[in-house]
Amino acid sequence: MQNRRIVVTAALPYANGDIHLGHLVEYLQTDFWVRFQKMRGNECLYICADDTHGTPIMIRARRDGITPEELIEASYARHTKDFAEFQIEFDNFYTTNSPENRDFCNTIFKRLEKNGALYCKDIPQLYCPDDKMFLPDRFVRGTCPKCNAPDQYGDSCEKCGATYAPIEMKDAHCAVCGKAKPEVRNSEHIFFDLDQFRNYLKDWLSKHVATDVANKLLEWFSDDSKLLPWDISRDAPYFGFEIPDHPGKFFYVWLDAPVGYMASLLNWCLKNGEKFDRWWNNPDAELYHFIGKDIVRFHCLFWPAMLHASDFKGPDQVFVHGFLTVNGEKMSKSRGTFINARTYLDFLDPAFLRYYYACKINNTTDDVDLSLDDFSQRVNSDLVGKITNLASRGAQMLHKSLDGILGEMDEAGKKLVSMFLSRADIIAEHYEARRFSQVPVEVCKLADAANEYFDGAQPWKTIKTDVEATRKVLTTILNLFRLITIYMKPILPHYATKVEKLFMEEPYTWESLKTVLENRPVAPYEYLAVRVLPEQVAGMVDASKPAVPEVLISAEPTVEPLKAEIEIGAFAVSDMRVALVENAAPVEGSDKLIQLTLSLGPLGTRNVFSGIRASYPDPTVLNGKLVVLLANLKPRKMRFGISEGMVLSAGSDTSKLCVISPAGNAKPGDPIG
RNA sequence: GGCGGGAUAGCUCAGUCGGUAGAGCAAUGGAAUCAUAAUCCAUUGGUCGGGGGUUCGAGUCCCUCUCCCGCCA
């Protein structure tokens, strides 16, 4: 059979924010699928990019006093680092702010124009005279025209659910400057006439998306109503691409974002000496988009219509997944369940989230729940207890008593191996159909069988009586473990790499299932996974709670309001001490943390991890300083070690914190109160 | 408000064509001590969100109510 040629995309993360565990539901399942395809020998590319344009980025950059280019560059660095540490392997991760993307947008626009898919129309828009810009609905606030609820967004009311145009609002004001009253100005906008493509789309939906998604979208195709046109232009000032022959008009960010898939692919082609048309417009190549259900409208209506109208090939399938909930609820900053990828990495092994998500993700649009208790439990009992333990007990005994050399398998072992191999096609089908949750189910059944075999054979007893029979048992166990690793490799790639090292083999592919390891040495066993401890999860949740309440975009700097009044006793329970910074150093693998060695004088030294890296990019400036340590804080285990206390600092902006330093006669160990 | 999805064991979920409820984990009892307190054997555990209907028979089909979630361009 000829190898397939497949292009896979995940939705582009917006450059105005960090990657969080919700994003990872998508990037990880896409990674599972792509890695599986590659293991099968298919040519498969994982294409993505940062989505960099639009008003929110322009305003954020303006507020931070930097250019949008600087903002998106910083995001790019953070995003790619987070993805890499979660073992997400893009073939190309690019940016929508690229020459390739500009060219594709222009080409598509000109073709749409030529094919009569576009028209211009004057529409009234709110304009802020202070900021000298047109305001997107989300940047207008005012009183709801229906229910009079104050301080609502410009497009809909959160109180009564009414939807309206921003110009209908009472006392509308600009949310960028926070005060100016917007004026109504007419502006010419360019529209994509979606309704022209209703028959094409009806047909397209029946073939290229799951039926539940198609049915939902088809609700808009009733005979007596038209599909609404799509406004694809925005007025200057706007961070994006200016539309050819329309000075002062820019492509709406949602037009150039999906085009970014093509641009990122082209960029990969240019770097690798490949032709774009071999991958995208080739009927023999497959194109798949992985997206969340929130952006179905863009990917299953506008995008296929736009590609069709500009003579490009559309996606073969759009795979739609649900949202992430944490402990059964929407992610919440105040509950500490809005967890950034980086915060997770500060406390836990990325392989564990990969494993857990695999257990929960399938090919439906249902939401995925990250239950934190369930997470620890499953990782500890399945991944560590059942699976990893096989290698741990097998390889260590082989080294302790049998010189680390594999022998041959016994009859029972051979039978087990062929039973394991008989599951290969079923597991492959689960991957192919994106029923990832079924893979750990299958694999755990195999691990159970292997553990039963091990216990039944009692090698810890036979080692005293029949050394070679024991070698057979351990050879079997390690071969079974190896097969499990191959099955799990798309989900646990770095784990698999460690196992490849253990057995001194080339990187595993699906073909590696056919090999049997006999009569050869095994490298010394190194830990493959360490149990999750409750304090790591608790620490991650704590660290995700905001130090300050979320402040909406606003020109006015704010400080936290005072907390409720307390009795002196509530303060007296905390024991704060003067501490001397003996050594301050950055923590390898963490953006947020620095590691401090503190002297408390007669009370000894402490190791403390402090999340103030953003404020102290060069932690060594703290060396020799006196600081204040909350010294009776319960030690907390983090991914990098145990933190024994908390250093106090002032400020609410995490990038502008200032460590509190006692002056005068204070010496290490002195109490503070 | 409209539309859609969901509610099954302590937890996470499966349940096909209607035939008196399944798995894993947890819990309990035992075994084992090679292994990272990991493993093995056994057991317990459910009015399938409430009510009504169709049917010989309903977790499954129909109606209704309650609660949760999402979407409404």
Q: In Å, what is the separation between the CA of A212 and the C1' of B67?
A: 24
Q: Give nearest nucleotide to A391 (CA–C1').
A: B35
Segments in A209-325 forming alpha helices (H): 211-218, 253-272, 276-279, 296-297, 303-309
Q: In Å, what is the separation between the CA of A325 and the C1' of B18?
A: 34
Segments in A159-210 forming alpha helices (H): 198-208
Beta-carbon contacts of A243 under 8 Å, excluding residues fewer than 6 positions away, are: A109, A190, A233, A249, A250, A251
Q: In Å, what is the separation between the CA of A631 and the C1' of B38?
A: 35
Nearest to A49 by CA among A259, A274, A251: A259
Count how many Cα atoms sit within 13 Å of the Cα of residue A580 in the half-sphere of its side chain: 15
CB of residue A163 closer than 7 A to nucleic acid strand B? yes
The residue lying closest to nucleotide B6, measuring its CA against C1', is A366
Q: Give nearest nucleotide to A530 (CA–C1').
A: B36
Q: Give nearest nucleotide to A455 (CA–C1').
A: B40
Beta-carbon contacts of A519 under 8 Å, excluding residues fewer than 6 positions away, are: A405, A406, A407, A408
CB of residue A254 closer than 7 A to nucleic acid strand B? no
CB of residue A530 closer than 7 A to nucleic acid strand B? yes
- Do A89 and A497 meet the contact criterion of CB atoms below 8 Å apart? no
CB of residue A399 closer than 7 A to nucleic acid strand B? no
Distance CA A565, CA A547 (A): 19
Which residues are paired to A43 by β-bridges? A5
CB of residue A321 closer than 7 A to nucleic acid strand B? no
Q: In Å, what is the separation between the CA of A507 and the C1' of B37?
A: 33
Residue A427 CA: distances (Å) to CA of A50, A401, A433, A443: 33, 35, 10, 9
Burial A43-68 (b: 16+ CB within 10 A, else e): ebbbbbbbbbbbbbbbbbbbeeeeeb
Residue A474 CA: distances (Å) to CA of A344, A394, A460, A581: 36, 6, 10, 51
Count how many Cα atoms sit within 13 Å of the Cα of residue A461 in the half-sphere of its side chain: 5
CB of residue A369 closer than 7 A to nucleic acid strand B? yes
CB of residue A589 closer than 7 A to nucleic acid strand B? no
Beta-carbon contacts of A425 under 8 Å, excluding residues fewer than 6 positions away, are: none
pLDDT at A158: 65
Nearest to A196 by CA among A230, A168, A160, A156: A230
pTM: 0.83
pLDDT at A174: 86
User: Which residues 454-493 in chain A have a CB closer than 7 A to strand B?
Assistant: 454-456, 458-461
- Do A257 and A51 meet the contact criterion of CB atoms below 8 Å apart? yes
CB of residue A130 closer than 7 A to nucleic acid strand B? no
Q: Specify the DSSP class assigned to residue A340.
A: B
User: Which residues 281-300 in chain A have a CB closer than 7 A to strand B?
Assistant: 293-294, 297
Q: Give nearest nucleotide to A163 (CA–C1').
A: B72
Q: Helices A21-39 and A424-432 sit at what angle, rounded to 10 degrees?
A: 130
CB of residue A278 closer than 7 A to nucleic acid strand B? no
Residue A125 CA: distances (Å) to CA of A143, A191, A197: 17, 15, 27
CB of residue A158 closer than 7 A to nucleic acid strand B? no
CB of residue A628 closer than 7 A to nucleic acid strand B? no
Q: Give nearest nucleotide to A330 (CA–C1').
A: B69
The residue lying closest to nucleotide B11, measuring its CA against C1', is A374
Residue A158, helix vs strand vs coil: coil
Q: Give nearest nucleotide to A231 (CA–C1').
A: B73
Characterize the bridge pairing of strands A43-50 and A92-95. Answer: parallel
Ramachandran angles phi, psi of A239, nearest 5°: -90, 105
The CB density around residue A16, as the number of other CB atoms within 10 Å, is 20
The residue lying closest to nucleotide B26, measuring its CA against C1', is A377
CB of residue A571 closer than 7 A to nucleic acid strand B? no
Distance CA A638, CA A645 (A): 12
The CB density around residue A644, as the number of other CB atoms within 10 Å, is 19
Distance CA A504, CA A522 (A): 7
Residue A149, helix vs strand vs coil: coil
CB of residue A385 closer than 7 A to nucleic acid strand B? yes
Residue A503 CA: distances (Å) to CA of A385, A472, A570: 21, 16, 57
pLDDT at A654: 60
CB of residue A224 closer than 7 A to nucleic acid strand B? no
Beta-carbon contacts of A349 under 8 Å, excluding residues fewer than 6 positions away, are: A529, A530, A639
The residue lying closest to nucleotide B37, measuring its CA against C1', is A385
Residue that the structure tokens 């397209």 belong to: A204
Q: In Å, what is the separation between the CA of A514 and the C1' of B34?
A: 28
Q: Give nearest nucleotide to A230 (CA–C1').
A: B73
Distance CA A282, CA A488 (A): 32
Q: In Å, what is the separation between the CA of A639 and the C1' of B52?
A: 56
Distance CA A168, CA A142 (A): 10
Distance CA A320, CA A209 (A): 8
CB of residue A228 closer than 7 A to nucleic acid strand B? yes
CB of residue A349 closer than 7 A to nucleic acid strand B? no
Q: Chunk chain A into consecutive blocks of 10 residues (it has 673) and report each block's average pLDDT, rounded to whole numbers.
A: 88 91 91 95 96 92 93 95 96 97 97 95 88 85 76 72 72 82 90 90 86 78 78 92 95 94 97 96 93 87 93 92 80 79 93 90 82 86 91 93 91 91 90 88 89 92 90 95 95 95 96 94 92 88 69 39 59 76 72 76 79 71 76 73 76 66 74 76
Residue A166 CA: distances (Å) to CA of A153, A162, A446: 8, 12, 59
Report whether the peptide linkage leading into residue A315 is cis, meaning its omega lies within 30 degrees of zero: no
Q: In Å, what is the separation between the CA of A435 and the C1' of B31?
A: 37
CB of residue A400 closer than 7 A to nucleic acid strand B? yes
- Do A269 and A276 meet the contact criterion of CB atoms below 8 Å apart? yes
Query: What tokens does A275 get?
Result: 């032709």
CB of residue A119 closer than 7 A to nucleic acid strand B? no
Rg (CA), chain A: 29
- Do A640 and A587 meet the contact criterion of CB atoms below 8 Å apart? yes
What amino acid occupies position A25? V
Query: What tokens does A353 get?
Result: 């989230």
User: Which residues 422-451 in chain A have a CB closer than 7 A to strand B?
Assistant: 444, 448, 451
CB of residue A377 closer than 7 A to nucleic acid strand B? yes
Residue A455, helix vs strand vs coil: helix
Nearest to A424 by CA among A397, A442, A400, A447: A442
The CB density around residue A402, as the number of other CB atoms within 10 Å, is 19
- Do A460 and A402 meet the contact criterion of CB atoms below 8 Å apart? no
In residues, how long is chain A?
Answer: 673
Residue A660, helix vs strand vs coil: coil
**Dihedral sign, Cα of residue A576, residue A580, residue A585, residue A591:** positive
User: Is the ipTM, as predicted for this complex, more than 0.90?
Assistant: no
Q: Give nearest nucleotide to A385 (CA–C1').
A: B38
pLDDT at A547: 62
Distance CA A127, CA A173 (A): 10
Q: In Å, what is the separation between the CA of A383 and the C1' of B38?
A: 11
Nucleotides of B under 7 A from a protein CB: 1, 3-6, 11-13, 24-26, 32-36, 38-41, 69-73
Distance CA A141, CA A149 (A): 11
Q: Give nearest nucleotide to A378 (CA–C1').
A: B25
